[in-house]
Amino acid sequence: MNVISAIKAYIVKMTSESEPGMKILLMDKETTSVISMVYGQSEIQQKEVFLLERIDSPNFANSTGLRYLKCLVFVRPTQQNITALCNELRNPKYGAYYIYFSNIIAKADIKILAEHDEHEVVKEVQELYMDYLAVNPHLFSIGLSTCFLNLNWNPSALQRTVQGIISVLLSLKKCPVIRYQANSNVCKDLGTRIDEIISKESSLFAFSQSNNSLLLILDRRDDPITPLLNQWTYQAMVHELLTINNNRVNLSDINGIPKELSEVVLSVEQDTFYAKNIFMNYGEIGTNIKELMDQFQAKAKSHQKIESIADMKSFVESYPQFKKLSGNVTKHVTVVGELNTMVNKFNLLDMSEVEQELASQNNDHYSHLQSVKKLLNNEKIRDIDATKLVMLYALRYQNHNNNDLTGLIDLLKRRGITARFLKNIVNIIEYAGSHARQSDLFNVENAVKITKRFIKGLSGVDNVYTQHKPLLHETLEDLVKGRLRDHLYPYLGGHGSGRQQDIIVFIVGGATYEESLTVHSINRNNPNFNILLGGTTVHNSASFLQEVDQATKNVPRKHTRTIRNIQFD
Amino acid sequence: MAEANLIQEGFLCPICHKDLRSANNLITHFQDIHSEEKDILSSIKDIYGKVKKKILTVDDQDLEHFKNEISLQKEKYYLEYSEPQDPGPTISHTEYFKSIRRDRLDHKTAETNKLIIRLDRLLRVFAADRKQHEQELVAWLDGSTVTRCPSCASSFNITRRQHHCRLCGSIMCTSCSYFLPYEMAQTIVTPVNNGSCKEQQTSKESDSLRICYHCLDMLESRRRVQIEQVLQPIICQLYSHLQKMKSQVQGAVDMYYKIYNSLKSGETTYLLQDLQSLRNSIADKAQMIDTISKKIASVPVDPETPKAAILQNSIRKATSSFIKEELITLPPPPTPQDLEKIKNERLAKVTDDDIPISNISIKKVMVTTGWSPANVTNEATVTEEADPLLEQMNIVRSYIKQARDAQRFEEVGSLQENLNMLKEMYKKQLVKDKNT
Ligand SMILES: [Zn+2]
Ligand SMILES: [Zn+2]
Ligand SMILES: [Zn+2]
């Protein structure tokens, strides 16, 4: 179960089936993302695709044609796309059309298309199933930044998610049994809809090993902690601090950034250094880069000192040959350099220490409260980080007798934090307070003493904390040990049992890269199991706060009336 | 024969399409004939030079290795390379699509064909009493009850009179009539292979045919198909030439690696010179490919179609990265000293007594690529009393030489295998003769 291979296999099929010749690839916004997650421009050029065009661009209808080009069409089966294609066929810009839909398409739509093909330019019409974004080999996303409306499914997001998951299942040839988180309506709704389609399209889902897979549907609200934490493994950290969007990181805001680095692509497929370091701790990456540079120096018989990230940067500048040979590594020097700057500037190490204590240490209300207060008085801490810290406190000690949320909010107000930020504290409780969760999120038994890990090698990059384990870790451990309780995670329709080894876990409300690492390590430790993680999106804390804000918009306050010092206008 | 064809395909001048039969001839031809293209030539040479340098410098080689190694021993958590896998299911709607389309288009095709047949007949009618003949061929609609032009709804009167479409007989006014010049009508009926018939807006009634716009539409779309079938823009020719060259060079590169690995493992099937001559011919082809792609990039672009410019540059870019990634990265041939060392090491391992010999049959040379050696003249063979095995070995040797000269290394490989078997048999025979 590797979603990147699944998508690549389809793309190879698509590009090789059409006859040889110069090609243009016509896509929509979403299918463009699907392809750009796994293929770079030069790779797609080797498949004779020399031009890309967007069917949903306002210029498309009026753009000029080149009759000697063959047109590969890869679009979602939406009404807008069908209409645009009909118009295109009536007045074709290109010589021949090979049409591929990214999901199940209705016969009626095929008929309409055929009726418009008066010039007989269409050579091929097919449906294949790649209606999702393959992020890592075992991580996919539907690409929906928000999916809730009034704490329930936004109907169009539900529809899109059903389509996305159906295409994941088909592309991997899985016809799973479905389990869902018992207390969550959104999970049950999603499961039911998927089940309906599997029954309706039973001939499509007639795979031989059908009984051996499981789709487990979870609700983000059962674990609102994980997306709020600072991250220290590479991919998660880059997403948290710099934001990864379709494998791309925008660095243009950095002072003096060279033009070729203003947007960098971080792709596990095209960048081996990234693939190797994706789950490494931030400190180790610096060490790995240094190791590469040392190897290079040995070849070049040079002896430049490399003891800090600044040293690395000057090394790259003084050795253009190194830059040429390992362009990717140069890119990572820049990225790690920027992470390093932010960690120091915003005191993220201190931040993270308190976050980790709150998230995963024994109940010790008094000392936790003191740590939070101390940080709230630290001027280097960003307002958003201060707010997140109070949110963590609010979640952890929501029902504690000595809860001093009011005092902490007053402290935030004294810092001059705006109402927009303060609102997040109310939102998170309404969204995922204790009333919304079925699991014991702050399991004291599992709490371990904080240990500081020292990463040697580079000055200024040490003290990396990896204490917290997402709730998903426990859920999956239970699952692979056959201990996941039926009344908390029932089978859809009540039926089904047995132990499935291919497991697709889907989180409504978004997964995180930290959870991706969890899945990866559980896969490693349990070679008999093969777990794939998916989410409506892949969150960092900023996108998570936005989603929570959307989800609770216009929802009357039920569980936060006691928080009197935050009032909405 | 086959050999000549192959070369002919490979070395057409991309500018004047003259067949030059070899890369060297082509370069000379470029210098002599297309001197304005000299800058292109010099940059090919530049690349060629770089190719050589890259392959020859040990230091660069070293660093390339370093790049590939990137040997980080930390293996705690990293993503594995995604192995290629079979694609998931697909459903083809092509048949259904075509059946719907066929139903609709059959009607239109029949209509158009009918028009073309009528047009053909009308063109055979002589100018004298044309109108009457026209009406015999196509029944004209009775206009007595028609008061308005069906297509523009203007009412008919003395100044706006009724007219009939000569092809379908329908009624229209003058402004809704189109005059199809006979000359153009002729090309629609009997398409000649130039397709470049110019629009003639200056059509007078005398040398043209009055038709309605509906009929014109049908004729126009037929004519467009005809023109496209005939016209193949220059870029298409260049591109298919480029693709042909690329697949040829790909074959040569695969062969290069095969010979390289064979030599490196101490086999004696191929010679070091094979690798060198193949490398030269790959470099020649790399130049050709580079030239063609530059030519593609410089095909003049109609300002109306800016897309063409992007396309052409994109092809050029893709080609140069193909050259960089596939052709410049070839490992350099091993030095003769290296080879000697490898051979000795191998010899030390192989012991003489375990030669497998039961029932050796001489494998026929499989001629799969259209190449076969010319007949060997008898001068080369030994006298009739000589051992038939020796004779055969000589023949095979001369085949190998021919194959090598023609750079047919597949054949060199299988012939060499034959020769080795013959040698074994001969050796056995000698032993047997001695014993008896
Ligand atoms: Zn020429
Ligand atoms: Zn009219
Ligand atoms: Zn007519």
The structural domains of chain A, ordered by start, are 3-128 (3.40.50.2060), 135-223+470-536 (3.40.50.1910), 234-345 (3.90.830.10), 348-462 (1.25.40)
Confidence of residue B198 (pLDDT cuts 50, 70, 90): very low
* Distance from the alpha carbon of residue B201 to the mean position of ligand 3, in angstroms: 19
Which of B180, B211, B230 is a domain's end point?
A: B230
Q: Which two tokens stand for residue B296?
A: 């593609």
| Cβ-defined contact of B104 to A45 (cutoff 8 Å) | no
Average pLDDT of the segment spanning B352-378: 49
Q: Which residues of A touch B236 (CB under 8 A)?
A: 21-22, 68
pLDDT at A235: 92
pLDDT at position B40 over 50? no
Interface predicted TM-score (ipTM) of this complex, two decimals:
0.85
Tell me which DSSP letter residue A508 carries.
E
Residue B353 has pLDDT above 50, yes or no: no
Determine the pLDDT at residue B4: 33
Q: Cβ of A9 and B64 within 8 Å? A: no
B112 to chain A, minimum CA–CA distance in Å? 13
* Confidence bin at B373 (pLDDT 50/70/90): low
Distance B319 CA to ligand 1 centre (A): 21
Q: Does A13 touch chain B (CB under 8 A)?
A: yes
The phi-psi region of residue A150 (left if phi > 0; otherwise alpha if psi is between -120 and 50; otherwise beta) is left
- Asked if residue B358 has pLDDT above 70, the reply is no
For residues B389 and B307, membership in a common domain is answered with no
User: How many angstroms does the Cα of residue B231 sit away from the middle of ligand 3?
Assistant: 28
pLDDT computed for residue B38 by the predictor: 43
Chain A interface disruption, residue of B54, B69, B70, B247, most A CBs within 10 A: B70
Q: Which helix (H) or strand (E) holds B208?
A: strand B208-212
B46 assigned to some structural domain:
yes
When pLDDT is averaged across residues B248-272 and rounded to a whole number, the result is 87
Do B216 and B270 lie in one domain? The reply is: no
CB contacts, 8 Å: A67 with chain B: 228
Please check whether residue A56 is in contact with residue A29, taking contact to mean a CB–CB distance below 8 angstroms.
yes
| Residues whose Cβ atom is located within 5 A of ion ligand 2 | B 149, 151-152, 173, 176
Which CATH number covers residue B187? 3.30.40.10
Same domain flag for B189 and B161: yes
Q: How far apart are CA B135 and CA B115, in angstroms?
A: 15
Distance from the Cα of A434 to chain B's closest Cα (Å) equals 34
Measured between CA atoms, the residue of chain B closest to residue A130 is: B88
**Residues in contact with A483: Cβ distance below 8 Å, sequence separation at least 6, in sequence order:** none
- Minimum-distance CB partner of A45 among B72, B85, B314: B314
A50/B311 Cβ within 8 A: yes
Any chain B CB within 8 A of the CB of A121? no
Clarify whether residues B217 and B138 are in a common domain. yes
**Segments of chain A scoring below 70 in pLDDT:** 208-211, 296-303, 316-328, 361, 443-466, 495-497, 569
Is B210 in the same domain as B245?
no
Give the list of residues 6+ apart from residue B49 with CB closer than 8 angstroms, or none: none
A213 touches chain B (CB under 8 A): no
Residues A493 and A447 sit within 8 Å (Cβ to Cβ): no
Total beta-carbon pairs less than 8 A apart between chain A and chain B: 187
**How far from chain centre, in Å, is Cα A21?**
36
pLDDT band at B361 (very low <50, low <70, confident <90, very high): very low
CA B291, CA B297: separation in Å to the nearest integer?
A: 10
Closest CA to A125 of A190, A77, A67, A197: A77
Residue of A1, A41, A45 to mutate, interface with B, max B Cβ within 10 Å? A45
- The single-letter code of the amino acid at A486 is D
Contact yes or no for A312/A293 (Cβ under 8 A) = yes
- CB contact (8 A) between residue A279 and residue B98: no
CA distance A462 to chain B (A): 18
Contact check, Cβ <8 Å, B104/A114: yes
Question: Quick one: A525 exposed, middle or buried, by C-beta within 10 A (0-12, 13-18, 19+)?
Answer: exposed
Residue appearing with tokens 């699944």: A6
CA distances from B281 to A68, B124, B253, B295 (A): 32, 60, 10, 21
List of residues 6+ apart from B163 with CB closer than 8 A: B171, B172, B173, B174, B177, B210
Residue A420: helix, strand or coil by DSSP? helix
Instruction: Please check whether residues B223 and B149 belong to one and the same domain.
Output: yes
Decide if B250 is inside a domain: yes
Interface test with A, best of B77, B230, B320 (most A CBs within 10 A): B77
User: What is the B34 CA–ligand 1 centroid distance (Å)?
Assistant: 6
B276 belongs to a structural domain: yes
pLDDT reading at B291 higher than 70: yes
Residue numbers in A near B82 (CB within 8 A): 2, 4-5, 8, 137, 268-269
Taking CA atoms, B176 is separated from A175, B1, B154, B164, B220, in Å, by 62, 62, 10, 10, 16
Give the per-residue pLDDT at A211: 63
| B411 and B303 both lie in a single domain | no
What pLDDT score was predicted for residue B436?
67
Please tell me the number of the ligand nearest to residue B20's CA: 1
Q: Check whether residue B366 and residue B388 sit in a common domain.
A: yes
- Inter-chain touch A126–B91, beta carbons under 8 Å: yes
Q: Which of B230, B255, B287 is the last residue of a domain?
A: B230
Q: Does A54 touch chain B (CB under 8 A)?
A: no
* C-alpha to C-alpha distance for A134 and A4, rounded to whole angstroms: 5
C-beta atoms of A292 and B239 within 8 A: no
Judge if B120 and B195 occupy the same domain. yes
Q: What is the nearest CA distance from B63 to chain A, expressed in angstroms?
A: 7
Judge if B131 and B212 occupy the same domain.
yes
- Could you tell me if residue B212 is inside a domain? yes
Listed residue (A370, A408, A356) closest to A387, CA to CA: A408
CB nearest B87 (choices: A13, A123, A137): A13
Best mean pLDDT range from A129-138, B40-49, B413-422: A129-138
Going by pLDDT thresholds of 50, 70 and 90, the confidence category of residue B188 is confident
Q: At what angle do helices B130-137 and B94-124 cross, to 10 degrees?
A: 150
Assess contact for B275 and B260: CB atoms under 8 A. yes
Decide if B22 is inside a domain. Answer: yes
* Position B20 pLDDT exceeds 70: no
Alpha-carbon gap, residue B78 to A191, rounded angstroms: 32
Task: Kindly state the tokens that stand for A442.
Answer: 């702050």
**Is there a contact between B81 and A51 if contact means CB atoms under 8 Å apart?**
no
Please, what is the average pLDDT of chain A? 87
Count of C-beta atoms within a 10 Å radius of residue A147:
26
Q: Where are the beta strands (DSSP E) in A19-166?
A: 23-27, 49-54, 66-75, 94-101, 122-127, 133-136, 139-141, 148-149, 152-153
pLDDT at B57 over 50: no
Asked if the C-beta of A117 comes within 8 angstroms of chain B's C-beta atoms, the answer is: yes
- Considering only alpha carbons, which residue of chain A is nearest residue B76? A280
pLDDT at B29 over 80: no
Residue-level pLDDT at B66: 45
Q: Which has the higher per-residue pLDDT, B160 or B33?
A: B160
Question: By residue range, what is the domain housing residue B167?
Answer: 104-230
pTM for this prediction: 0.78
- Average pLDDT in the B203-212 region? 72
Measure A65 CA to ligand 3 centroid, in angstroms.
30
| Segment of A121-125, A493-497, B108-112, B118-122 carrying the highest mean pLDDT | A121-125
- B108 with B36, same domain? no
* Average pLDDT of span B301-316: 89
Min CA distance, A21 vs chain B (Å)? 8
Chain A residues inside the 8 Å CB shell of B84: 5, 8-9, 12
Q: What is the pLDDT, as a whole number, of residue A326?
A: 61
CA B19 to ligand 1 centroid distance, Å: 9
Let me know if residue B66 belongs to a domain. Answer: yes
- In order of A280, B206, B207, B246, the CA distances from A46 in angstroms are 32, 56, 53, 11
Q: What is the Cα–Cα distance from B54 to B61, expressed in whole angstroms?
A: 7
Please say which residue of B196, B230, B264 terminates a domain.
B230
Q: Is residue B395 part of a domain?
A: yes
Do both B374 and B320 map to the same domain?
A: no
Average pLDDT score over chain B: 73
| Distance between Cα A305 and ligand 2 center (Å) | 88
Ligand number, closest to the Cα atom of B162: 2
Q: Do A69 and B311 touch (CB under 8 A)?
A: yes
The total number of structural domains in chain B stands at 4
* Whole-number pLDDT of residue A111: 95
Q: Is residue B85 part of a domain?
A: no
* CA gap A444, A339 in Å, rounded: 32
CB-based burial label for A91 (10 Å; 0-12, 13-18, 19+): exposed
